[in-house]
Structure 1
Amino acid sequence: MTDFSHKPTLTGELVTLRPVTEDDVPAFLPMNSDPEIQRLTGSHADFTEAALRQWYATRGARPDRLDLAVVERASGRVVGEAVLNAWDRPNESCGFRICLVPDVLGRGLGTEATRLIVGHALETLGLYRVWLEVYAFNPRARRAYEKAGFRAEGVLRGALLWKGERVDATVMSVIAPEWPPTAL
């Protein structure tokens, strides 16, 4: 693997993942302003539309990460993003995060998007490990990650301070020898 310069389009039954652009920002605003999504992702930041446009305008040029828009195939609507980041080249590893707009949760779109991008990382890019962190108050996401092949590795105790309360984060990963998971 050289880097993440190539920004692919990945297609599943429910979703298509394609390179994100600043034109996707209006579709992302609900997930960036929803209090429950902010809690589940541990996001303390409030982003303006202008700041989001500036951020997403630069994603295509980054060789150290892969930011893809999640597009619901049935409607053609952009419903979130899936990202490979925190690339650790010497260890053939990277981080993963996903976020969807609130009204599409629980329909399997995130699980399929996760399988698509993780499959790309392990099969096409040749990475060995993809990892993530999920907060203790987000069991729905943890179940989706487990369905996509992630396994718990350990707990970061009190990793998030959310409205005066300490919340644990579970570190999860999927590694190439265990891919694809038998639950697919």
Structure 2
Amino acid sequence: MNHRAADLRQPGLSDEPVLTGERVLLRPFDLAQDSPALRDLLTDVEVGRFTEGDPGVEPAPPWDADAERRMRDWYGSRAAQADRLDLAVVDRASGRCVGEVVLNGWSPANRSCGFRIALTAAGRDRGLGTEATRLIVGHGFERLGLHRISLTVFGHNPRARQAYAKVGFVLEGTRRDALRYGGVWVDDHDMAILAPEWQRHRGHP
């Protein structure tokens, strides 16, 4: 069996790569180095705001020994997951982890998966997320043989939606009033990118 065929049968999500861009490096998590950034990520108010939490209603619980254990158990087990790929986003200028990118929800029959990214405050507003997205999406199409990568983004996060569109994700539909946040209903948008689209523009539509 050739290497490409092996990728389509077993997509290689458990074989964690190191992907290098001009400003970011994507690599497997190293808790000895990454734990401070991961704590920042998991307690970040803005990250919570753009997921299904609502930190504006109740304060986030304090970080304690149980939270530390859960964090270490989760990130320490990422390399063993055959159906997803979790990588640290490293700012090459500082050498520090500033977030994570994830391919998950792998569907072998459909050669598709989901995507998400989360960055700490240290990784935002400098184009690091856009480059990290291009790197992992390119890996999914060019190395793993995926046909479709999809995501969801809440309507109160227009910056992320614009960043995804910049890489080539296309709006496919909207689930209206999907989230109740701070007393306001928020839409949830479905976006996706297909392999033929990536082949045309390589993340620069």
What TM-score bracket applies, with the shorter chain setting the length?
A: over 0.9
Match of 2:5 in 1: none
Moved >4 Å (runs of 4+): 44-47
Q: Residues of 2 paired with 1:113 and 1:41: CA distance?
A: 19
Q: TM-score, normalised by structure 2?
A: 0.84
Match of 2:50, SS? Answer: helix
Q: Residues of 2 paired with 1:38 and 1:52: CA distance?
A: 16
Q: TM-score, normalised by structure 1?
A: 0.93
1:34 and 2:44 equivalent?
yes
Residue 184 of structure 2, aligned match among 153, 165, 183: 165
Match of 2:147 in 1: 128
Q: Residues of 1 paired with 2:183 and 2:112: CA distance?
A: 33
Q: Residues of 2 paired with 1:121 and 1:182: CA distance?
A: 12
1:19 and 2:23 equivalent?
no
Q: What's the Cα RMSD here? A: 1.7
Q: Which runs of 5+ in 2 are unaligned?
A: 1-7, 55-59
Q: Is residue 99–residue 123 contact of structure 2 (8 Å, CA) maintained in 1?
A: no
Tell me the amino acid that sits aligned with residue 69 of structure 1.
A
1:106 and 2:125 equivalent?
yes
Percent identical across equivalent pairs? 52
Match of 1:88 in 2: 107
Q: Residues of 1 paired with 2:117 and 2:202: CA distance?
A: 22
Please give the per-residue CA displacement for 1:4-23, whole angstroms capped at 9, x wherever unaligned: 12100000000000012433
Q: Is residue 98–residue 110 contact of structure 1 (8 Å, CA) maintained in 2?
A: yes
What is the CA distance between 1:182 and its match in structure 2? 6.5
Residue 18 of structure 2, aligned match among 9, 21, 36: 9
Please give the per-residue CA displacement for 1:92-145, whole angstroms capped at 9, x wherever unaligned: 100000000013211000000000000000111000000000000001101110
What is the CA distance between 1:25 and its match in structure 2? 2.5
For the structure 1 residues 49 and 128, does the alpha-carbon distance in structure 2 shift closer, same or farther, using more than 3 Å as the test?
A: same
Q: Is residue 37–residue 102 contact of structure 1 (8 Å, CA) maintained in 2?
A: no
What is the CA distance between 1:183 and its match in structure 2? 6.4
